[in-house]
Structure 1
Amino acid sequence: MLQIKDLVFDAWGRRFFDEATVSLPKDAKVGLVGRNGVGKSTLFKLILDELHLGSGEIGMPRNSRIGSVDQEHPATPVPLLDTVLAADVERARLLEEVETADPEHMGEIYARLIEIDADRAPSRAAEILAGLGFTNEDLSRPMAEFSGGWRMRVALAASLFAEPDLLLLDEPTNYLDLEGALWLEARLKKYPHTAMVISHDRELLNNSVDHILHLKDGKLDLYPGGYDNFEHQVSEKLRLQAATRVKVEARREHLQAFVDRFRAKASKAAQAQSRLKMIAKLPPVSAVIEERVAPFNLPSPERPLPPPLIRLEEATVGYGGAPILRHLNLRLDLDDRIGLLGVNGAGKSTFAKLVAGALTVETGRLHRSQRLRVGWFHQHQIEAMDPTDTPLEIIRRAMPEAADSKRRAALAGFGLGYDKVETTVANLSGGERARLLLNMVAMEAPHLLILDEPTNHLDIDSRRALLDALNDYEGAVILITHDRSLMELVADRLWLAADGGITPFEGDMEDYAKFVLDRARMAARAPTQVKAEAVAPPPPPPPPVRTKTPSGPARRRAEAAEAALARASQALAVIDRALTDPATFAADPGKAAELGRRRAQAQAAVDTAEAEWLEAQEAYEAVKA
């Protein structure tokens, strides 16, 4: 599908690609991985022709469509649903043409509309939007009413809806919550064409892609399978490379020893020259250099506090208007590792502010130790950094009494070496800024760490380093993240923010993933209030007037079967309405599971009744004939 041959590209004083060559199979789902700053986003820009090649070729089949999500959708007065529908350019063009087309061309246009399944487009768009967290009420809202983060989701929805031949996604989960990331993971897996995704999300790379494209040292290497399989193959490749190097060096030393011993002897001169030629022909094998990732420094509190650290009793919190969270009855101890789940807007960040001390309860009680120290990292801290600041100036304010040598040593421990300490924030990568802030919030050895999306700018190896640091840290942790792997390996208890409250979630991340996907499927099946646009050909001539329906056993059997089918369908509809109500899941997940089993039984009853009705109707039609 995508052919890259001998690609060379230099920019900003460095070489990004050095005769890189790769060929992507048709309809492959490819995860593009590599360290921060190696050129993954640059490759996307080269494919999109936003940057010009130094040399080499990037080719695709003729008339192939490329789609990407480069920036948030503009704030226009166009309704949400219409914005996404407009992403299918061909459909929009055909619908426009059908209004003014000549009668002889109408048939061709309608045939093409039927071929691309245009009449299902509104419901398909609504399904994608529901999976990304939009409600039915949002479909008619103008784009100008949505925030930048939600408009990024619209841009993603538009690309998925248009279904280009090559879909390019650059860190798509960075602006999604965990629920949206789980939905996208399932959606990508069944995407009908080729997709290339830059991601540091291990679960997405394991569950959604069938190839890993590794960018390192200016080269592109394609590996089959998911990320775990890629890691195994790379480890084996490095092991074989190291073993080969040892063998080659041993052979080189053996030949060189013979040359050194007998070079001066006339009788052995020919053999010595022969061995010199053999040495020259030995293949060069580069040394295996392990890429080192700087660890995170999360010091544990020296003196533990008596439990509980925090206790909430019927607490309500908000911002002066209607409360965001109500009836909070929760307890947090020093050894707790809490994973906070819930869709965006459910109150997760509000709860983090309350626990961090940035908000106070409006009603109810909040008990907390007077000596409690809290380290709070949230994603907006990175955006709020002064672009003219430097790491040295930032840590100078945090350590006013320390010597510069001690400050520089601390920054080196954060992974910011000598060449970075006086670099402006604007010129630091997102990963470097995240490292700086994550280490800074933990400098005072807090009793509680609150981490709100800490991994957005970290590559996979840095995420593993953060996981290791969190597992060594001996304080309490509240974790909000869309990184399912980190959540599974850090959190030992899950709390769910939903319906204006926070309650314990009974189950693990596998249960929660199933809960989220089942809820998305139910939402997709629910009535969307979307009026399908008329794209079918003109209606056929009216049917002939039917004669009087004959009476008899066949008619009565058909009527009875039809009534049975209506009763079975009504029972199924009642269960579906319950399953599409979010309150059903929030109140009692066990009841929701039971409803799911009952729905399967009800669907089977509908299928049986429908088969009986068809058989009876066919018999009735035969009698009439």
Structure 2
Amino acid sequence: MAVVSRPAARARVTEAVGAQNVAEVDDEVVDFLACVLAEGTSLEHEIVDTAWQFLQQIQPGLSEEAARQMALDVRRSFHPVAEDAAGPGAGGGDDFQLHRLAAPKRMGGSLGAAGRRLGLDAEADGDSAGGSKSAASKRKEVAQGNANATLDRSLEAAEAREMAKFRKARRTGKDTKRIMENLATVSAVRSKVAAGAVDVRAEGVDISFGGLTLLEGASLSFAYGRRYGIVGRNGIGKSTLMKAIARRELPLPEDMDVLFVEQEVVGDATTPLECVLDADEQRARLLDEEAELTEALGDQATDEAPTSGASERVVLENRLKEVYAQLEMTGADTATARAAAILSGLGFTEQMQQKPSSSFSGGWRMRIAIARALFVEPRLLLLDEPTNHLDLHTVLWLSDYLQQWPHTIVTVSHDRDFLNEVCTDIIYVKDKKLHPYAGNYDDFEKARSDQLKEMARSAESFEMRRKHVQSFVDRFRFNAKRAAMAQSRIKLLQKMEENRVIMPTDEEEFMFNFPEPGVLTGSHASLVLQNVSFGWPIFQHHKPAEQDTGNGTPDGAAAKPPQGQRTPTMKLLFDGIDFSINTDSRAALVGPNGAGKSTILKLLLEEIEPIKGEVKKSSKLRLGYFSQHHIDQLVLWRTPLEHMKVLFPESAMPELRSHLARLGVSADMAMRPINTLSGGQKSRVALAAITMTNPHILLLDEPTNHLDIETIDALIEALNAFSGGVLVVSHDSRLLSMVCDELFIVKDGAVTSFPDDFRAYRKMLVQEMRTSHPPVVFRK
């Protein structure tokens, strides 16, 4: 058949469906369709079956029959059918001849030059769907006859469409999260799961995203009542695995209730207490039915119904008794108290529980989502970084609550202390496998260290034995008297290779290296809040007063404000506080959420102005500020290198690359759009931006959010090596205990110094929490 060039194929498709329709479709889709229609080796009906759906989407309103005919016409314009094509020679009649192949041949191996050139050209023009195979390997697959390349057209078409959407969203800076989730493929060995089963088991778990294999042939097992922590480096597939379980893409018992806490609740007029109570759908359904039955019985009592209605009343009364019994079994009578206790533990006061959820920030709405999950008590609870939006007080309460959880928990967390207190098992994601370990995170670290040492000893012993056998083979292979012995040693070598000890791949060590700020000369090296007060006005509306019949007001009485006027009153957060840090400080601000820790950082930065008092800072003192909402400050469609160039236009590219590398942003990562990076990788980009100016003092607001444990360890080392000052707001116990030697408690409008270390402060908080909160009550 004739070879068709890609431009000619594209032009023919454009002519068939119209240039205007083609202009509204991504180039990759049009190129793929042209490739399919021009490919000359596949059967005609296969080409039509693949192409007609594309044509129907490109040209809206086209019927299936018309789309099929258009595909056939375009196909035959490339490769006309011979006049005798319908005759015996083509249709399998008497003249049809069978031929024996000279050698075995794989289906799809005859893909011609046209298909090869078109397919590879399309690959070269845009990003590949996987990004993991080179053009040379693609060429090799085609030459060897990859059957999927020809036969699985529908899968290729779906991937092409999704990747086109992804690239378009990435170019325009739109959110690609949902598209990326669609691109992830999940498979496992399908096994029958008996109803009523409480354990979760899956074999042969494969998870890939955009051609990158995250898990391959992995085994998964959750025993009922155990609490599992999934750990591993950022971007290795932990959250993707959790989503696959939540979407039931892995085999789960049909009657097992699964709840995945990932996103905050949508803010509306519903109060937090109502949000939590509404999460129990069974209770809500039973209460609705109770109201309907009660109303129906009331109507029957008022109506002068005939005696024939007595039997109907009995049915209603019996059903109402059943509803009451079910409500009692599900603990509906204590539901409000349980919901309020959970919200209280998560930091909601009684007044806050009655406010509309729309009045809360995203972090507080995330707490409502956690409260809903704890209230429902699913048999399989999935938590993805549950401590990210919590303060230290709430993390301690949640840890204590989950330790008494009666069902199965699977959590992804980078908080080492949280994993130690909550988890009974650890699942380590490494080398595309899931490695289970019994015990908490400290037990896992010790077991893995011992395992690696044992594997290293076994590998060393194996290598010594292999060299000994190999030396014998090399020495006597060509010796006639010992040839038989040499051959047996060769077979022994082959068996030894099958049992070789394979060491885990070396993990990349992340090293943070904060630049030296240099000596601050000719100025004081401190940052001071002196007698500072801060607050905000609250406006009170005055109702229109009744008509005053007298003249004026009594002596000494204050004049009433005019009707409808809004009178401002000042709500103070801080009143007359004194606080300071310097370039030698290693301090932490601790206290409950809403106490004003982040506000103090903003006062020090002079982003907000105090009502009274003074902020003293030398003009030469450079500050670096890491916000807990740092991702909001990143332009997601830019690469990290572009982001740094926009912030620091006078800096040379090599300098920016070098600085990014010091903060753990590799050369490859620096050239990828920020919206394709994991949360921890985005945090490194933000840290790179704030340290580019060589700050004398670092102000860090929840710097460990989204960082994995290894990266947190690297951050701790970097902060301890940093020669400037550090002021941290964090809920990570390990960071605070290893970096900070000063604690300042922010509470009740004051900032007070804590006389002891962080461990003593944490112990004090645990005691306060257990005395101030009611004991945990579970309904199931």
TM-score (norm 1): 0.79
Deviation at 1:399, TM superposition (A): 4.5
Task: Check conservation: 2:290, 2:320, Cα contact below 8 A.
Answer: yes
Which amino acid is the alignment partner of residue 147 of structure 1?
S
Q: Secondary structure at the match of 1:169?
A: strand
Specify the SS of the correspondent of 2:667: coil
Would you say 1:455 and 2:653 are equivalent positions?
Answer: no
**Which residue, out of 336, 339, 351, partners 1:137?**
351
Alignment counterpart, residue 69 of structure 1, candidates 238, 247, 261? 261
Determine if the alignment matches structure 1 residue 256 to structure 2 residue 449.
Answer: no
Unaligned runs of 5+ in 1: 53-57, 527-625
Q: Does 1:204 align with 2:421?
A: no
Q: How far apart, CA to CA, are the structure 2 residues paired with 1:97 and 1:376? A: 55
Paired residue type of 1:358: E
Q: Is the 2:634–2:643 Cα contact (8 Å) retained in structure 1?
A: no
Matching residue of 1:310: 527
Q: Give the structure 2 partner of residue 482 of structure 1.
A: 731
Instruction: Work out the CA distance in 2 between the residues paired with 1:139 and 1:413.
Output: 45
Distance 1:522 1:135, change over 3 A: farther
Q: CA RMSD in A?
A: 2.1
Contact 1:304 1:334 in 2 (8 A): no
Please give the alpha-carbon distance, in whole angstroms, between the structure 2 residues aligned to 1:407 and 1:216: 31
Distance 1:516 1:90 in 2: 36
Which of 354, 361, 372 pairs up with 1:147?
361
2:179 counterpart residue number? none
Q: Which amino acid aligns with 1:293?
A: E
Displacement of 1:308:
6.1
Q: Does 1:502 align with 2:751?
A: yes
What letter corresponds to residue 21 of structure 1 in structure 2?
Answer: S
* Corresponding position: 1:385 with 2:634: yes
* 1:466 corresponds to which of 698, 712, 715: 715
Secondary structure, aligned partner of 2:339: helix
Residue aligning to 2:323? 109
Correspondence for 1:122? 336
Distance 1:244 1:170, change over 3 A: same
Q: Give the AA of the match of 1:118.
A: A
1:38 paired with 2:230, answer no
Select which of 216, 223, 226 maps to 1:18.
216
One-letter identity of the residue aligned with 1:180:
T
Gaps spanning 5+ residues in structure 2: where? 1-198, 294-315, 538-569, 776-780
Contact 1:301/1:445 (<8 A) preserved: yes
Whole-Å Cα distance in 2 between the matches of residues 131 and 12 of structure 1?
41
Amino acid aligned to 1:466 = L
Q: Residue 29 in 1 paired to residue 29 in 2?
A: no
Partner of 1:324: 573
Match of 1:86 among 269, 278, 282: 278
CA distance in 2, matches of 1:146, 1:399: 35
How far did 1:94 drift?
2.4
- The CA distance in 1 between the partners of 2:215 and 2:285, in whole Å, is 39
* Cα offsets for 1:516-561 (capped at 9, x unmatched): 44444455459xxxxxxxxxxxxxxxxxxxxxxxxxxxxxxxxxxx
The equivalent position to 1:8 in structure 2, one of 201, 206, 217, is 206
Work out which of the residue numbers 460, 471, 491 in structure 1 matches 2:740.
491
Q: Cα gap change, 1:521/1:126 in structure 2, threshold over 3 Å: closer, same or farther?
A: farther
Q: 1:371: how far off?
A: 2.4
Establish whether residue 271 from structure 1 lines up as the match of residue 520 from structure 2. Answer: no
- Secondary structure of 2:723's counterpart equals coil
* 1:28–1:362 CA distance, 2 compared to 1 (3 A): same
* TM superposition shift of 1:323: 3.5
2:329 alignment partner AA? E
Could you tell which deviates more after superposition, 83-92 or 162-171? Answer: 83-92
Q: What is the rounded CA distance, in whole Å, between the counterparts of 2:682 and 2:648 in structure 1? A: 18
Q: Does 1:350 align with 2:599?
A: yes
Residue 237 (1) aligns with residue 451 (2): yes
- Give 3-state SS (helix, strand or coil) of 1:451's partner: strand
Contact kept? 1:378, 1:452, Cα under 8 Å: yes
User: Measured at CA, do residues 76 and 332 of structure 1 come closer, stay the same or move farther in structure 2, by a change above 3 Å?
Assistant: closer
Helix, strand or coil for the counterpart of 1:323? strand
Amino acid at match of 1:273: Q
Q: CA deviation at 1:61?
A: 4.2
Of 62-71 and 517-526, deviating more is 517-526
Counterparts of 1:168-567 in structure 2 under 5 Å? 168-282=382-496, 283-304=499-520, 309-318=526-535, 322-525=571-774
Give the whole-Å Cα distance in 2 for the aligned partners of 1:363 and 1:122.
44
Q: Deviations 1:161-216 (Å, cap 9, x if unpaired)?
A: 11100000000111112222121111111111110110000000111111101111
SS in 2 for 1:97: helix
Q: Which amino acid aligns with 2:516?
A: S
- What are the Cα deviations for residues 313-368 of structure 1, in whole angstroms up to 9, with x where unaligned? 32113456533322112232332211101222211111001112323332123333
The answer to whether the 8 A contact 2:582-2:697 is kept is no
Look up the SS of the partner of 1:382 in the other structure: helix
Percent pairwise identity? 39
CA distance in 2, matches of 1:370, 1:11: 49
Quick one: distance in 2 between partners of 1:447 and 1:10?
A: 44
**Residue 241 of structure 1 contacts residue 288 of structure 1 at CA under 8 Å; is this kept in 2?**
no
Matches of 1:432 and 1:46, distance apart in 2: 23
